[in-house]
């Protein structure tokens, strides 16, 4: 029997399996992390723009936009090096601030700030929290071509330069994370976030809108709305990382906020799109551990990926600790319906971002038997139409060749194509 350890929160769960019946699906894992010198070399060769030192003049103020605790982007290493560059170029420490692009997620804790930015930066550079529901901190920039109001954090107007620093990975309806998402929806109002996310759902078919999906940018209405919203701010510079499963930067694309993000997306897709010969009736999927399984709303992204590797009516076992619970206190309310079509109707009457996540989850629960290894309460799991999977017994972690399947090592970061 072969053995594999799958990430679960901040720990590992061991499994034994018959190699004749199971195949491990994993992205590129042999890449070496970038050294500080290598990152410096990439910052010296930006895509479609001048170097950051040539853009930011001495005495100018700079706002660094970074992801929240639900993302793993090697942000700390990059921010540390960038701040040192800016200071050496004549920017005063007091003229640099960092804002967390939380969207409608919860605020970043002080401990998380230390982890995301490194203690050196967190103690020396002012940090700002975004609140999508606070109208006193929001201003209207304009509207998209589709008529969506673009309302963003007022802080974006208070600095001479806005620099985006984030990571790129797959996103199940925006195509990819990173880049423009740091501004819209990351620093947008609840209203703008809701209206742009609503573009992913087609109320006529009560399903995902055509052209919207993992790895898709061209013709993706959600991505296009995000681009329009961010263009109204027109960031001065962007840095996009690609990280390993250990969370270390293995590649970096910087420069013009549009061109560098597109280049990063193409590179990421080339390395993390996994071709499968066939769908199989049994899939065991890890989100990739913390922070990808920090809550159920984030862990759902791995279910979305795993569904493309599982045959209809098959079984998916999801490893998702969910130390922060569901991700929203009102998330379970969406499941007070008979089936996914009724939830879709409810969603079209009163759209909310997390309602679409609930619809997607319920739709998959109707197509597959989903069993979850989690710290969530049993009552919450049943309400979402899922079942628990108990790994306390070693026998439950042994899989013989009676039903061919896949192990997915990092579902939050992979896309599967047949």
Task: Kindly report, residue by residue over 346-399, the tens digit of the pLDDT.
Answer: 999 999 889 999 999 999 999 999 999 999 999 999 999 999 998 765 556 777
Count Cα atoms within 13 angstroms, Cβ side, for 369: 8
Highest mean pLDDT among 188-192, 391-395, 401-405: 188-192
Encode pLDDT of 196-243 as tens digits.
Answer: 999 999 999 999 999 999 999 999 999 999 999 999 999 999 999 999
Distance CA 327, CA 294 (A): 8
Domain boundaries, the chain: 2-27+276-417, 36-271
Encode pLDDT of 296-330 as tens digits.
Answer: 999 999 999 999 999 999 999 999 999 999 998 89
pLDDT of residue 393: 57
pLDDT of residue 26: 85
Encode pLDDT of 69-105 as tens digits.
Answer: 888 889 999 999 999 999 999 999 999 999 999 999 9
pTM of the model: 0.92
φ, ψ for residue 291, nearest 5 deg: -90, 5
Q: Nearest to residue 58, comparing CAs of 93, 98, 92?
A: 92
Highest mean pLDDT among 26-40, 67-81, 163-177: 163-177
Strands (E), 68-176: 96-101, 126-129, 138-143, 149-153, 161-167, 170-171, 175-176
- DSSP character string of 183-216: TTTTTB-HHHHHHHHHTTEETTTTEEPTT-STT-
> CB of 74 within 8 A of CB of 38?
no
> In the predicted model, is pLDDT for residue 418 greater than 90?
no
Q: Do domains 2-27+276-417 and 36-271 have the same CATH topology?
A: no
The fold of the 2-27+276-417 domain, in CATH, is: 2-enoyl-CoA Hydratase; Chain A, domain 1 (3.90.226)
φ, ψ for residue 191, nearest 5 deg: -65, -50
pLDDT of residue 245: 84
pLDDT > 90: what percent of the chain?
87
Cβ neighbours of residue 252 closer than 8 Å, sequence gap 6 or more: 34, 39, 42, 43, 78, 239, 240, 241, 242
Strands (E), 292-379: 310-319, 369-373
The CATH architecture that domain 36-271 belongs to is: 3-Layer(aba) Sandwich (3.40)
pLDDT > 70: what percent of the chain?
97
């Amino acid at each position: 029997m072969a053995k594999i350890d799958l990430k679960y929160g901040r720990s590992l769960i061991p499994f034994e399996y018959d190699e004749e019946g199971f195949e491990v699906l994993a992205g590129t894992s042999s890449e070496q992390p970038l050294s500080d010198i290598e990152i410096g070399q990439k910052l010296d060769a930006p895509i479609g723009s001048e170097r950051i030192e040539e853009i930011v003049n001495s005495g100018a103020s700079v706002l660094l936009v970074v992801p929240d605790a639900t993302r793993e982007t090697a942000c700390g290493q990059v921010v540390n090096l960038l701040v040192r560059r800016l200071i050496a170029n004549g920017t005063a420490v007091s003229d640099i601030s960092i804002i967390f692009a939380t969207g409608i997620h919860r605020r970043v804790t002080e401990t998380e700030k230390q982890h995301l930015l490194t203690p050196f930066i967190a103690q020396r550079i002012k940090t700002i929290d975004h609140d999508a529901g606070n109208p006193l901190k929001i201003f209207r920039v304009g509207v998209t071509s589709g008529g969506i109001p673009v309302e963003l954090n007022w802080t974006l107007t208070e600095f001479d330069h806005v620099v985006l620093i984030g990571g790129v990975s797959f996103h199940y309806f925006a195509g990819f994370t990173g880049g423009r998402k740091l501004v819209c929806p990351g620093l947008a109002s609840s209203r703008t976030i809701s209206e742009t996310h609503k573009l992913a759902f087609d109320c006529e078919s009560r399903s995902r809108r055509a052209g919207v999906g993992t790895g898709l940018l061209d013709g993706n209405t959600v991505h296009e709305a995000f681009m329009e919203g961010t263009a109204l701010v027109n960031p001065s510079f962007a840095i996009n990382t690609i990280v390993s499963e250990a969370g270390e930067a293995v590649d970096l694309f910087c420069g013009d906020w549009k061109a560098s993000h597109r280049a990063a997306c193409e590179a990421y897709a080339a390395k993390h799109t996994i071709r499968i010969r066939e769908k199989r009736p049994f899939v065991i999927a890890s989100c990739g551990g913390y922070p990808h399984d920090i809550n159920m709303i984030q862990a759902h992204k791995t279910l979305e990926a795993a569904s493309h590797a599982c045959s209809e009516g098959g079984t998916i076992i999801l490893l998702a600790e969910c130390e922060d619970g569901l991700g929203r206190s009102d998330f379970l309310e969406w499941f007070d319906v008979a089936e996914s079509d009724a939830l879709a109707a409810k969603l079209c009457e009163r759209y909310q971002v997390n309602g679409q996540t609930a619809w997607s989850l319920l739709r998959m629960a109707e197509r597959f038997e989903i069993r979850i290894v989690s710290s969530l309460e049993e009552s919450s799991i049943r309400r979402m139409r899922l079942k628990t999977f108990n790994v306390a017994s070693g026998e439950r972690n042994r899989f013989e060749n009676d039903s061919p399947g896949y192990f997915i090592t990092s579902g939050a970061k992979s896309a599967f194509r047949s």
